[in-house]
Structure 1
Amino acid sequence: MSRGLDYQLDIAFRDLHTGKEVIKRFEVCKQLGDVEFLAKPYTTENIKVTILLPIQESDKDEVMYFLNDFIPNIMDAREKVVLMFVFLYQYNTISKGPEDHFKDLKDLALQTTNKYHSEDTKVAWVSIRLPLIEDKMIKMEDYPVLNFALIDLSLKKIGLDSLVLVLDVYSEVNVEFLNRVKMNTIGEFQIFNPIPFRQYNPEVSGVETLEIHKDCGHFDREEYKYISFYGKDYVKARKDFSSKLPIVKSDPDISIVLQEEYRQIGNVFEMFIVHLPDVHGMRATEAALKIRYRDETFNTRRQNLFLGTKSQLAKIILEQESALLT
C-alpha cells in the first residue's frame, strides 16, 4: 500500500559560539491521508453495452468516420455491444421511404445486424422528431438539454436493465475502453464519466494521426457528455430531477424543454451527483477514448482551446508575419 512521499533532508547547523558546523539528517513522511476501503460489488467484462450515438442531419459524413473505425475494431471482434443510432430529424425532414434523410444509415444498420446474427452484436436505431422553433434548425450545440431528451426517449427502446454508454460521432473507442466501461459502471453503486483525449486541429499541429501525445491534443477536463450508467439509476435520478427539468416522454414534449429556462441544462453527470448521491461518480482521464477535432465556433469560450499548442500557434503567426514582410 502506498504511504505517500518520503523526504530525506540533510540540514547544516552552525554553532554561534564555536563556529563549528553540524549536519543533521531528517527523514520525513508525508502521508497520502486516511486510507479507506470501499466495498465494491462484483463486476465482469461479460456484459452487453448499449451505445447511444446521437446523429444530427449534418453528421452523416462524421458518422461514417466513426463506423469505419468502430465496426472492424469492436463489432468484428464480436464484442457484446448494441450500437443504437439516435436519429434527430428536423421538423420538416422526410423520415420514411426512399427519400428518408437517414435511409443509407438505416440500410447499413440492417446489413451489419444481419452479418453477425446475434442479439449481443447488432446495430439498431431510434428516431426523434424535433419541433419547429422560429423556423430554424435545432442543433444539440445550441440546445444542450437535448442530451437529456435523447436519453429519456431512447431508454424506452433499450430497457432499464441495460448498461448505457453515451458517445458522439467524433469518438474513437476500442475494446480496452469498453472493458473499462463495463468494470467501472456498476448498478446502484457507480457511474463512469471518462475524461477524453481531444485532438488539436491537424492543420495547425501538423499531426494527422490521433494519438496520445502533447503535440496531438490534450485531455479535455471540461467535457462531461461521455458517460455510462445503468438505465434504472438514470430513471431514479431523472425522476428526482424532473422538478427542475420535465421528463421527455414523447417527441412533442421536446418543445417544452427547448424553452429558454431549460435549454442550457445538459450535464447528465451533474444530475447523477446531485440527485443520486448514494451512487459514486467515477471521473478520470481515459486514454482509450479519443475525440477527433471539430470546429467549435458555436462555443466562443472553447473554440480556441483545441487549435494547437502555444508553440504551434506561435510558429504559424511567425510564418505569416514573415510572409507579409517578403
Structure 2
Amino acid sequence: MYGPAPQQLLSFAAADLALRKIGLDSLVMICSAEATFRSDFLNRVRMNTIAGFQVFSPIAFRQYPCGWTKLCKECDGCDVGQSTGYFDRANYDVVAFYSRDYVDARKLLELAGAAVIVRSDRDIVNLLNYTQDAIGSPLERIENVAEMFVRASGKIHVLRGIEPNLRLGRAMENFLAEVDPEGEQLQRLRCEEQPDQRDRCVRIASKKQIGDVLVQHDGAADGRENEVKK
C-alpha cells in the first residue's frame, strides 16, 4: 500500500468490503503484506485502540536491504539501530480501529462528497477516481485510513508512536535480490516525489554508510590514478 495515492487507496476498498462480513463491533488491523511483527505487538494494538475514541497507527522500523547493499548485517531479530534501518514516519500502512468508527467516518466523508464507499468490486474504479471528482474540497488529499479519521471527525484521535517490533523492508529486499541483483536497473528505483514529500522515499542505507562508500571509492580512484602516473 505504501506508494502512489491510487495504490494507497486500495486499503479503503479492502476495508469496505471486509467489514460487511466482519461486523461493527470488531477490532480490525490493516497491515502491509511485507510487515513482520512479534506477538506482543498485537497486545499493544489491542490496548491502544479504543472504540469510539482512538485508532492506532504505529510507526514501523524499516530495515535497510543489507543483503543487497552489503553495508550492514542482515538480522531480522536484532534490536533497532541507525546502521540497520530507520523509523518510517511517512508510512501509514498499518492502522488499527474498530469497525463502527471506520464506518461512521466513511459515511461522513461520503455525505461531504469527498469519498466513495466500496459496496462491490465494481465500485473500486470509482474509488480510485474520487480524488479527481473531489478537486477543490478540503478533503481531496485523503490518501490513507489514518488520515481519514483525522479529517472526518474530531472525536476520534489517531495515536502514532514508534514500534520497534513492527518491521518493514522485506518487499524491497526481495525486489532487489530477484529483479535487479547486479544493480543494472537501479535507476528504476529513483524516487520521483516532490521535494516536500521526499520523506516518503524509501532509503536503502544511512547517510554515514553511503558517505563511507564514497570516501572508499574516491580513495581507490586516487590510488589507481597515482599508479598510472608512475
TM-score (norm 2): 0.73
Relative to structure 1, the CA distance from residue 273 to residue 174 in structure 2 (aligned partners, 3 Å threshold; closer, same or farther) is same
Task: State the 1:266 CA deviation.
Answer: 2.1
3-state SS of 2:189 partner: coil
The superposition leaves residues 149-173 of structure 1 with CA deviations (integer Å, 9 ceiling, x where unpaired) of 1111111222221110111121111
Distance 2:12 2:56 in 1: 17
Letter of the aligned partner of 1:208 in structure 2? E
Say yes or no: does 1:256 pair with 2:126: yes
Task: State the 1:248 CA deviation.
Answer: 0.7
- 1:1-326 residue pairs with structure 2 within 5 A? 142-202=6-66, 203-204=68-69, 205-210=71-76, 211=78, 212-242=80-110, 243-259=113-129, 261=132, 265-295=142-172, 297=189, 299-301=191-193, 302=198, 305-325=202-222, 326=224
Relative to structure 1, the CA distance from residue 248 to residue 298 in structure 2 (aligned partners, 3 Å threshold; closer, same or farther) is farther
3-state SS of 1:197 partner: strand
The superposition leaves residues 175-228 of structure 1 with CA deviations (integer Å, 9 ceiling, x where unpaired) of 110000011111112111111111112133322113311111111111122100
Relative to structure 1, the CA distance from residue 293 to residue 315 in structure 2 (aligned partners, 3 Å threshold; closer, same or farther) is farther
Percent identity of the aligned residues? 35
Task: State the 1:264 CA deviation.
Answer: 6.6
The superposition leaves residues 57-108 of structure 1 with CA deviations (integer Å, 9 ceiling, x where unpaired) of xxxxxxxxxxxxxxxxxxxxxxxxxxxxxxxxxxxxxxxxxxxxxxxxxxxx
3-state SS of 2:8 partner: coil
Distance 2:106 2:201 in 1: 34
Distance 2:190 2:108 in 1: 31
CA RMSD of aligned residues (A): 2.5
Partners of 2:5 and 2:143 within 8 A in 1: no
Unaligned runs of 5+ in 1: 1-53, 55-138
Bigger Rg, which one: 1
Distance 2:23 2:190 in 1: 34
Partners of 2:109 and 2:152 within 8 A in 1: yes
The superposition leaves residues 102-140 of structure 1 with CA deviations (integer Å, 9 ceiling, x where unpaired) of xxxxxxxxxxxxxxxxxxxxxxxxxxxxxxxxxxxxx97
Partners of 2:63 and 2:86 within 8 A in 1: yes
3-state SS of 2:7 partner: coil
Distance 2:38 2:5 in 1: 26
Indicate the structure with greater helix content: 2
Unaligned runs of 5+ in 2: 134-139, 173-187, 225-230
Partners of 1:141 and 1:298 within 8 A in 2: no
Which stretch shifts more, 312-321 or 145-154? Answer: 312-321
3-state SS of 2:132 partner: coil
Letter of the aligned partner of 1:236 in structure 2? D
TM-score (norm 1): 0.53
Indicate the structure with greater strand content: 1
Letter of the aligned partner of 2:11 in structure 1? N
